[in-house]
Structure 1
């Protein structure tokens, strides 16, 4: 029986990912510890770097996300952190912030996020992307391309990890 590889395991895991839609996210204000937990739970299947309290505090300080009100974060900040956590694999924070702003120019943040989740799930499942949201074609292409870039990066990391594990150590002779 052939051993399952890291990549195969990752691929099988992400094929069944379901990101919560906006209305499924906690609506009560969350403290930073709770936000970090929710974001990390949602992104765990992707095997991305976990979010930390320090990262969230830096994002607030640098105005990447809105500051919490009375130390509590709302759904829009939680969504921003989910997107940042996913896209930071391949993109810098300024580009992620600009991408979020671009995609929400003509679309409400709730609608844009829900569409992102639908597009991501379709790509992961190898299904056609639903055309259920009226989005500027350039914005749609941006979203799909950015998602595919992150997934290609993660795929390459897992394949490379398998290759490193399977390779025999090189014997170096003194000479």
Structure 2
């Protein structure tokens, strides 16, 4: 089906959005609420939903922290977003390596860098799909960095350990690959619908 010379599948990239860290609820959500919240963002990207059993599996594998009295908070939900997006191109074992990058950062910094990499790559790969004005880009940049603590200087806190220097590169390449895969799927679907 065509609409103004383009396949309707091209509408999906326009819906690409991931919440900034401060926008993620930190009031404590039950498992079913988390699945609905995350799936609402992920569905346009992946065409699949996150299930309760998937999240329970992530907890069992140690990819995300255990819920507190059956409630999930901002940092856990941010990790679920990273896993859900990365799952398109990485195995769970590889995602565990990617998430090791969080160990030397304050809560929210890793997630914010991941979102920044995704948006940057999205704008490169889909330049005509989601045009953002300079004001929108400024607002997005502010939203991504708003409310985050400064990166710790000097020694790391006791509960944080050093991680390999390749983690930032892994994060960037994961973002690039996710966005390129979205582009390829969009192209294939547009050709199928011609």
TM-score range, shorter chain: 0.7 to 0.9
TM-score, normalization by structure 1 = 0.77
- Is 2:117 aligned against 1:112? no
Cα offsets for 1:75-131 (capped at 9, x unmatched): 121111111110111111111121011x2243223111112112211221239xx8x
SS in 2 for 1:57: helix
Deviations 1:136-155 (A, max 9, x none): 97433222111111111122
Contact 2:118 2:179 in 1 (8 A): no
| Corresponding residue for residue 85 of structure 2 | 86
Give 1 or 2 for the bigger CA radius of gyration. 1
Equivalent position to 2:189, from 139, 161, 170? 161
CA deviations on 1:7-58 (whole Å, 9 max, x unpaired) are: 53233333xx3x2222221111110011111111222331342101121122
Aligned counterparts of 1:42 and 1:32: Cα–Cα separation in 2: 16
**Is the 8 Å Cα contact of residues 63 and 99 (structure 2) preserved in structure 1?**
no
SS at structure 1 position matched to 2:67: coil
In structure 2, relative to structure 1, the CA distance for the partners of 1:137 and 1:67 (3 Å cut) is closer
The residue that corresponds to 1:22 in the other structure is: 21
- Structure 2 residue ranges without an equivalent (≥5): 128-140, 152-163
Which residue number corresponds to residue 177 of structure 2?
Answer: 149
- CA pair 21-3 structure 1, distance change in 2 beyond 3 A: same
Q: Please, what is the CA RMSD of the aligned residues?
A: 2.7
Identify the residue that residue 13 of structure 1 maps to in structure 2.
Answer: 15
Indicate the residue corresponding to 2:154 in structure 1: none
Give the TM-score normalised by structure 2. Answer: 0.70
Query: What is the number of equivalent residue pairs in this alignment?
Result: 159
The answer (yes or no) to whether the contact 1:49–1:85 under 8 Å persists in 2 is: no
Aligned-partner Cα distance in 2 for 1:112–1:64: 14
